[in-house]
Amino acid sequence: MTNEQEIEIRQARSCFFAMAATYFLGVFNDNYFKQAVLLLAVAAGLSGLQGQATELFSLPFILFSAYGGWLADRFAKKHVVIGVKFLELVAMMIGAYGILTLNWNCVLAMVFLMGLQSTLFGPALNGSIPELYPKWYVTKANAILKLVTTIAILLGMAIAGFALDQDWINTSIPFGNILIAVSVIIVSLFGVITSFGIHYREPVAKRIPFPWAGPLMSIKDSILLKNDKLLLLAVFCDVFFYFISLLAILVINTLGLQELAYTKSATSILSVSLMVGVCLGSFLASKITSHEKWTHVLAPGAIGMGICLVLAGYVASMTISFQFGLILLVLACVGTFGGLFLIPVASFIQVRPKAGSKGRIIAVANFLAFIGMWCSGRLFTTLDTSFQSSLNLKFLGICSVIIGGCIYSLLLYIKKQNGK
């Protein structure tokens, strides 16, 4: 790296720090509260609520992604983020009341609002990366951001189980529930404060029309992806990753609490091991991929995830003294292949579109990804009532291996078409 490039990167990092900090706090809060709610639901015999919560979180991305993309392209991203963080604060207040009273309707309303704020926040954040960094550094910037946000997810999911198990003083409401309710509001307030420090940049497309058609516009833009086969492949891989990863986390929660009879803390650690692997895979992806060379890791990543998920299912069905440690190791391997798979895909989706349409294309990717996540919530409800969780992990693994084979075939087809 030359001296000029180093100066350029340092300037970009200083501008991006407040955005990353705001995102970190939001991701932590989201996963901290969501994991606490899912654990409480499973412990209360309401494991099906996991599927409903997933569907409600995904629904805003399906309905409002076009508006999120329009906001990111039409207005300064700083103003978009500040407004969204206030929406998060309202959502957390509703969720705090829900968890204190175990009012599941309030909890589900909060989940929907968190999905809405993520719908509006995502294009503004992801669209800012290629604006701040030179194209050659975007993959590494994404890997760093993924590492930071994965740490936020790890902390949120890990601390949630431990917080629920706390019993510092005797209270009419379980103390762990009070601890969750108070802390999510405090973290959300900090997120509002950090959002005011985000660097202001003029919007790049001030005259774009409002997408009145909403999800119909997202469908139209999705169809247009066929004109760019590599971009279409990247979006497909993005959808697959979020579908399989969310479904795996839902299955792991039920596996730990119900099939293996682990504590809430131990069950959270199972998901944490998965995310630790994602950190490792993200770091590896930053070393061996770029925005120009990235497709070679897709098929190995998907197949590797699949094989490790099958192994996790087998380990979970075994009765051995070191079962817990072995499951942690295998799930970490699942995450490693997942991080290797995701980072180059996310980077390509950010770099490929033109400057005035980045928010719109990222919104389309979110729209499709969360249709996949909505489907994962729906599928989980069916799988959870029909099969053991260990068997469901094996099923997910087989599906991932099959998708890996399909991706390999698609890459061969695209290569053949480009060769003509």
Question: Is residue 193 one of the residues assigned to a domain?
Answer: yes
Query: What confidence category does residue 409 fall into, taking pLDDT thresholds of 50, 70 and 90?
Result: very high
- The predicted pLDDT at position 299 comes to 96
Confidence of residue 136 (pLDDT cuts 50, 70, 90): low
pLDDT at position 310 is 96
Residue 93 lies in a domain: yes
Give me the pLDDT at residue 355, please: 65
Domain-embedded: residue 208: no
Average of pLDDT values for 203-207?
68
- Averaged pLDDT of the chain: 83
CATH code of residue 48: 1.20.1250.20
Q: What is the pLDDT of residue 274?
A: 86
- Residue 4 is predicted with a pLDDT of 63
Residue 233, pLDDT > 70, answer: yes
Residues 286 and 235: their CA atoms lie apart, in Å, by: 19
- pLDDT beyond 90 at 315: yes
Q: Does residue 299 contact residue 407 with C-beta atoms inside 8 Å?
A: yes
Q: Which has the higher per-residue pLDDT, 382 or 15?
A: 382
128-132, 285-289, 312-316: which has the minimum mean pLDDT? 128-132
Confidence of residue 1 (pLDDT cuts 50, 70, 90): low
Q: 214-228, 230-244, 302-316, 321-335: which has the minimum mean pLDDT?
A: 214-228
Residue 227 lies in a domain: yes
The confidence band for 7, taking pLDDT boundaries of 50, 70 and 90, is: low
pLDDT at 237: 94
Residue 36 lies in a domain: yes
Domain hosting 347: range is 3-199+214-419
pLDDT score recorded for residue 251: 92
**CB–CB of 39/268 below 8 Å?**
yes
Asked if the structure places residue 205 within a domain, the reply is no
pLDDT for 316: 92
Confidence class of residue 419 from pLDDT cuts 50, 70 and 90? low
Looking at the structure of the chain, the number of domains it has is: 1
376 in Cβ contact with 243 (< 8 Å): yes
Greater model confidence, 288 or 209? 288
- Does residue 206 sit within a domain? no
Is residue 219's pLDDT more than 90?
no
Q: Percent of the chain having pLDDT more than 90? A: 24
Rounded average pLDDT over 362-391: 85
Q: What is the pLDDT of residue 169?
A: 83
pLDDT value, residue 390: 93
pLDDT at 44 over 80: no
Q: Degrees (nearest 5) of the Cα angle 180, 194, 10?
A: 125
